[in-house]
Amino acid sequence: MKIKCVLLIICLLSTAVQANDKSAVSARGIKEPWRGVHLGIGNKKAVEQLTSVVPRLAGLGVNVIVGEINYGYQYKSHPELARDNACNAKQIKNLLAVCRRHRVRLIPQFQCLGHQSWSKNTAPLLINYPEFDETPGKYPDNEGIYCRSWCPLHPEVNKVAFALMDELIEVFEADALHVGLDEVFLIGEDACTRCKGKDKATLFAKAVNDYYKHIAGKHKIEMLMWGDRLIDAKIINYGKWEASANDTAKAVDLISKNIIICDWHYELRKEYESVPMFLKKGFRVWPSSWKKTDAAMAFVDYSKRHGNARMLGHLNTTWGAVKINELPTFKPLRYATESFK
C-alpha cells in the first residue's frame, strides 16, 4: 500500500512539473500557436499604457507582444538618438515584469534599413549621421519619397545599429528581436556612391544577413522581419507595397531559413499565396493582418488551412488604428486569438 501511495505521489508531481513546463514553454511562444499583437511603444506614455493593459490582453489569449520601439528608448551608447519622450529602463522592466507574470512573450522591434523618415520628419539616425543616408542631399523635406533608408554598405552604420540592438536585447532580456525591413523602396540608389549599380536583392540580403549574424550569432536569439521585400510582385499580384516591385525579391533565397517571416497583408483576398511560398522555402511564417475585420478573418482562415509546424499562428498589427487601452476589444485581434486557442 505504501509503495502504491509513493508511486501515486510521484505520478502527481511529475504531472504537475510537466504542466508547469508546458506553461513556461507556452509563455515563450514555442509550443502553443503564437497569438500576437504588434504596436508602437516609442514613448513613455505608450509603454505605461501597454503595461496596464497586458493583463486584459493575456485574458484574451494574447501570448506574444511585439513592441516597436525604434528611437523611443533612452540609449546609453548613443543618447543623441533617443527621442525627447523616450522611455527609460525602469519603464521597460515594469512592462517586462507584467508580461512575465501573465506569461506573455515580449519581443522588441527596431526598424532597420528603411522607414528612417515619416512625412517631413527624418528619424534621429539620419539627422545625427547624415552620411549614412542612401540618398544624401536628395529629397529636401522628404518630398517625392515614401521613407528614407540608410545605406547597407556604409562601413559605420552597423556599428551604431548594433549598439542600439545590444541595449534593447539587454533591457528587454529579449529572446528575439524584430528588425522591421518592410517597404524598403530606396536601396541600390544612384545617389549612393557605394550602392550605385549593385544588385538590389544582393544588397538587401547582405543587410538581412548582417543583422541575423549579429542577433542569432552573437546573442543566440531569434530574429523576425517583415516579408514584403522577399515576395516578387511579378509572380504574386500583391502590388508594390505588400510585395517587391524593386528587384529585392531574389533575396529570399540568399538569407537564413531560421529567420521568422512576418507576412503582412491587409486587404481581403481569396488567397494569400505568400504563406505557402514561404513555408515551401523552409521559413517559419507568422501571418500578420491589420484593421479590416473581414480581411483579417480571411487571412486567419486561409493560414489555418495551411497546417504546418512552421506556420506559427497570427500577428495582429495596429498602426494607430486602435488605442492601446482598447486593444482587448479590437475585433481582428479577438478573432485571431480565438481561432488559435
Q: What pLDDT digit, counting tens, does each position of 94-140 carry?
A: 999 999 999 999 999 999 999 999 999 999 999 999 999 999 999 99
Supply the pLDDT for residue 31.
76
In tens, the pLDDT along 39-79 reads: 999 999 999 999 999 999 999 999 999 999 999 999 999 99
Tell me the residue range of the domain where 206 lies.
Answer: 35-339
Supply the pLDDT for residue 17.
34
Burial of 190 from C-beta contacts in 10 A (0-12 / 13-18 / 19+): exposed
In tens, the pLDDT along 153-197 reads: 999 999 999 999 999 999 999 999 999 999 999 999 999 999 999
Look over the chain and give the mean of its residue pLDDT values, rounded to a whole number.
92
Nearest-CA neighbor of 71 among 124, 130, 146? 124
Supply the pLDDT for residue 63.
98
- Taking residues 257-267, what's their average pLDDT? 98
Please say if the pLDDT value at position 2 is more than 90.
Answer: no
> Cβ(247)–Cβ(271) under 8 Å?
no
Q: Is residue 255 part of a domain?
A: yes
Please say if the pLDDT value at position 308 is more than 90.
Answer: no
Supply the pLDDT for residue 14.
38
Q: Is residue 27 part of a domain?
A: no
> Cβ(201)–Cβ(255) under 8 Å?
no
Of 10-14, 96-100, 259-263, the range with the lowest mean pLDDT is 10-14
How many domains is the chain partitioned into structurally? 1
- Taking residues 72-92, what's their average pLDDT? 97
CATH of the domain at 230: 3.20.20.80
- Taking residues 282-311, what's their average pLDDT? 96
Of 27-31, 226-230, 234-238, 258-262, the range with the lowest mean pLDDT is 27-31
Determine phi and psi for 226, rounding to 5 degrees. Answer: -70, 150
Q: What is the DSSP string of 124-183?
A: HHHHH-GGGBSSTT-SGGGTT-S---B-TT-TTHHHHHHHHHHHHHHHTT-SEEEEE--S
pLDDT band at 22 (very low <50, low <70, confident <90, very high): very low
- Taking residues 302-329, what's their average pLDDT? 95
Quote the cell numbers at residue 158: 552597423
Q: Is residue 91 part of a domain?
A: yes
Q: Is residue 335 part of a domain?
A: yes
Rg (CA), the chain: 21
Q: Is residue 2 part of a domain?
A: no
Q: Is residue 225 part of a domain?
A: yes
